[in-house]
Structure 1
Amino acid sequence: MTNELNDLTLEDVKKAEQGFAGAIKHTPTSHAITLSKITGADVYIKNENRQFTASFKERGALNKLLNLSDEQKKSGVIAASAGNHAQGVAYHGTRLGIPTTIAMPLGTPFVKISNTQELGATVVQVGERFDETAEEALKIAEKEGFTVVHPFDDYHVMAGQGTIALEILEDVPDLEVLVVPVGGGGLIAGIATAAKAINPNIKVIGVQSERFPSLYRAMHDEEYKPQGSTLAEGIAVKNIGVKTLEVCKKQVDDILLVSEEEIETALGMLLTIEKTVSEGAGACPLAALIRYPEIFKGKKVGLIVTGGNIDTRLLASILMRGLVRDGRITRLRIELPDVPGALSIISSIIGDKGGNIIDVSHHRLFTELPAKETYSNITLETRDSNHLQDILDELRQEGFVVSVNRNIDM
């Protein structure tokens, strides 16, 4: 028989940590000095993006696998996931010699499929949406005799995730607040159970995207309303787990919501300031500190950066968008007379003021301006918004009509 759990305790979490025996990294906790100055809190970051699969998910997956019976290990397991849970189950299942099958939605990008296969799992694609995939995985499990490794609604999985609390409180024993991303609730349930058993006065606060507030809705008895996609796809869960909700009601102090723009900004700050790559979900705790500074000011706060698996093209886009928001990259629309030398005057002004022209496009035909006038779109790099304003002022003083083609008023 498998060693089933009917509740979650600190001893379960400690047992999970003992079972890991070097298979899971004790990831570093770094003191975020600059972020502390920005937010007004004393900030410490738990870098779970440093795990082998770049996510905390392998903790819960491994603990579940370790607690299977010999017969269950021989028969194999199945998990429904297109992301971090899939890789955690695949990696540790293969390492332990347990056959693993991962059910993924039909539209899953090939790179996620190949990454999971390279870790030793068999991938089956079923269902258009993830909830359909999860249902199909249950049918496959029943037919093939597989054990289902649920991504969050399982006490062994929660206990595995809770080992993060043991590590961060070993590294920084006097933390006053832990801020945790929440999707299905397995991570925060495990962390809150362990942390509050160690220190009953510590606050455990969950953070969710405004578009997928599964735990927030459950706590406030609200109905689900579809609101589109989220950058924090790792916590884009429609409904909180049944078991995790029971634990969260007893152990979690508060749930905060953050916007897509706030998640994007936090993700960029983690990369540019802390030099650490985070996926959207992992940036949510920092987003909460920025949005609700009054809650955390003056307190010693631990942030869980849950993973670093983010598409490189998306990451590049986020970084460039951040430069635009900061006024470091701007596209100008400049009206000018259609005469020789007009463009060189603009170039000289920008160069003399220390700006860097990245791209120029000149337009004569597709314009509403008079025939003897034209305009140029100039993509410009500056040090910051003040530097950009200096260049705009100089151009306008020289008589050029300048529009800034982005959503700011300058």
Structure 2
Amino acid sequence: MLTLDKIYHASHVLKNVVRETKLVEAPKINPECEVYLKPECLQLTGSFKLRGSGYMISQLSDEEKAHGVIACSAGNHAQGVALAATKYGIKSLICLPDGAPISKVEATKNYGAEVCMVKGVYDDAYAKAIELRDKCGYTFVHPFDDINVIAGQGTIGLEIMEEMSDVDAIVVPIGGGGLISGVAFAAKKLNPKIKVYGVQAAGAPSMYNSIKEGKIIKLDSVNTIADGIKVMEPGENTFKLVSEYVDEIVTVTEDEISSAILALIEQQKMIAEGAGAVSVAAVMFNKLPVKGKKVVCVVSGGNIDVTILSRVIKRGLMNTGRSASLCIELMDKPGQLEMVSKIIADCGGNVISVHHERASEIADINGCYLRLVLETKNFDHIAMIEKALKDNGFKLV
């Protein structure tokens, strides 16, 4: 049974294992409410996962500790289990799908775990972990559907309530539901009036659909840049706890997630992975009834793959009007590019890419296409530049 005493016990046990992450004010995320961030992206291993796995491992018997622990993950859970096991002097074996990013594989090894690469996807790694558990006597550390894991995650709720007792709402990312189950249980037990909201990626709405249908729903497929919450089916324990203690669940799009990642980088100098930014995205884009409220967004992790970070930033720039692509149909004669450049410069835009196409499908044999990428201020600025070009006789395609 999950109890408040168990979460307080977890908090005591984890004092020397995890970092207490202090709230950070974020006034520009949404000017219509008072926003604070709980930066678990600054946690050891870069994610909240260390809390749950750390407490679960601490509660093992001496015999279980002697046999070691096993887990399967392609990211944050693997690193959390690895570091927690190392801190308690226990052997850990992590089964990873062979497609896992090299950076995450190496990070897991560096935290002290033995790694078993499994051909296939997460489900194949899970099956291998269960096989090795049964064969070798390891204890399996579930990523979310375990009461001790949930209690460990609930320490985030205690920290928020201790630091800001008058908070009106807490917004939490949801994958399998372990994080929000613990946070919601702790917060509601301390203050039943507080609102707890969950956020999922629109491409992986397993808990959202399950709560809506009143039963656990398994998705056929998931697709989102928020890989940390790309879960096809919630757990039995987490489904029950979310049903009882969470007020509302909403979803956010890939574009909204990208914009939130960009906002955190620019405004807060904080790196969040997609899963960690969904809570911020929900508040940024007014998906929740928090106007005029004091709100804490849990930024659950910061382990974004650097190889996709540039693409996410580019997408975020386009979604907020900070970057624009224009295609202009021109007559192919001297001076045209100079005129276009002057109009854009006079409007305060900055041309960062130019592509000139002579051979094209334009009806006029003397015509050509000019494709530009601009650095702009916002959508109003883009509209002003487009109007200036049209007013000067240029045709936008």
TM-score (norm 2): 0.93
Q: 1:355 aligns with which of 346, 349, 373?
A: 349
1:190 lines up with 2:168 in the alignment:
no
**Count, aligned residues:** 395
Cα distance between partner residues in 2 of 1:35 and 1:382:
20
Q: 1:345 aligns with which of 326, 339, 343?
A: 339
Residue 178 of structure 1 corresponds to 170
1:62-96 CA deviation, whole Å, 9 max, x = no partner? 11111111222221110011110100111121222
1:117 lines up with 2:109 in the alignment:
yes
- SS of equivalent to 1:320: helix
Cα distance between partner residues in 2 of 1:294 and 1:109:
34
- Asked if 2 retains the 8 angstrom alpha-carbon contact of 1:79 and 1:86, the reply is yes
Deviation of 1:295 after TM superposition, in Å, equals: 1.6
Cα distance between partner residues in 1 of 2:236 and 2:117:
26
- SS of equivalent to 2:334: coil
| Higher mean C-alpha deviation, range 287-296 or range 249-258 | 287-296
Deviation of 1:272 after TM superposition, in Å, equals: 2.2
- Asked if 2 retains the 8 angstrom alpha-carbon contact of 1:127 and 1:136, the reply is no
1:211 lines up with 2:203 in the alignment:
yes
Runs of 5+ consecutive residues of structure 2 not aligned to the other structure? none
Cα distance between partner residues in 2 of 1:153 and 1:304:
20
Residue 3 of structure 1 corresponds to none
Residue 377 of structure 2 corresponds to 383
Residue 302 of structure 1 corresponds to 296
Residue 406 of structure 1 corresponds to none
1:245-268 CA deviation, whole Å, 9 max, x = no partner? 232333222222223332222222
- Asked if 1 retains the 8 angstrom alpha-carbon contact of 2:259 and 2:317, the reply is no
Residue 407 of structure 1 corresponds to none
- SS of equivalent to 2:185: helix
| Higher mean C-alpha deviation, range 327-336 or range 24-33 | 327-336
Structure 2 CA distance for partners of 1:103 and 1:361, relative to 1, 3 Å: same
Alignment of 1:7-156 (within 5 A): 7-37=1-31, 40-156=32-148
Cα distance between partner residues in 1 of 2:285 and 2:357:
42
Residue 257 of structure 2 corresponds to 263
Structure 2 CA distance for partners of 1:167 and 1:337, relative to 1, 3 Å: same
1:191-248 CA deviation, whole Å, 9 max, x = no partner? 1221122112222222222332222333223644435411222111111112222323
Deviation of 1:54 after TM superposition, in Å, equals: 0.8
- Asked if 2 retains the 8 angstrom alpha-carbon contact of 1:43 and 1:300, the reply is yes
- Asked if 1 retains the 8 angstrom alpha-carbon contact of 2:255 and 2:315, the reply is no
Residue 221 of structure 1 corresponds to 214
Residue 240 of structure 1 corresponds to 234
- Asked if 2 retains the 8 angstrom alpha-carbon contact of 1:182 and 1:215, the reply is yes
Cα distance between partner residues in 1 of 2:14 and 2:312:
36
- Asked if 2 retains the 8 angstrom alpha-carbon contact of 1:179 and 1:301, the reply is yes
Cα distance between partner residues in 2 of 1:308 and 1:62:
19
Cα distance between partner residues in 1 of 2:336 and 2:95:
61
- SS of equivalent to 1:239: coil
Cα distance between partner residues in 1 of 2:55 and 2:136:
22
- Asked if 2 retains the 8 angstrom alpha-carbon contact of 1:326 and 1:385, the reply is yes
- SS of equivalent to 1:383: coil
Cα distance between partner residues in 2 of 1:335 and 1:257:
40
Letter in 2 for 1:266: A
Letter in 1 for 2:169: V
- SS of equivalent to 2:46: coil
| Higher mean C-alpha deviation, range 382-391 or range 203-212 | 382-391
- SS of equivalent to 1:33: coil
| Higher mean C-alpha deviation, range 213-222 or range 131-140 | 213-222
Cα distance between partner residues in 1 of 2:182 and 2:252:
22
- SS of equivalent to 1:15: helix
Structure 2 CA distance for partners of 1:200 and 1:327, relative to 1, 3 Å: closer
- SS of equivalent to 1:377: strand
- Asked if 2 retains the 8 angstrom alpha-carbon contact of 1:63 and 1:160, the reply is yes
Letter in 1 for 2:377: R
- Asked if 2 retains the 8 angstrom alpha-carbon contact of 1:57 and 1:84, the reply is yes
> RMSD of the alignment, in Å?
1.9
1:299-339 CA deviation, whole Å, 9 max, x = no partner? 22221110011112322212212222333322222222222
- SS of equivalent to 2:166: coil
1:153-175 CA deviation, whole Å, 9 max, x = no partner? 11111111110011111111111
- SS of equivalent to 1:125: strand
- SS of equivalent to 2:176: coil
Residue 275 of structure 2 corresponds to 281
Q: 2:306 aligns with which of 312, 315, 323?
A: 312
Cα distance between partner residues in 2 of 1:159 and 1:108:
28
Name the % identity: 42
- SS of equivalent to 2:278: helix
Cα distance between partner residues in 2 of 1:113 and 1:306:
20
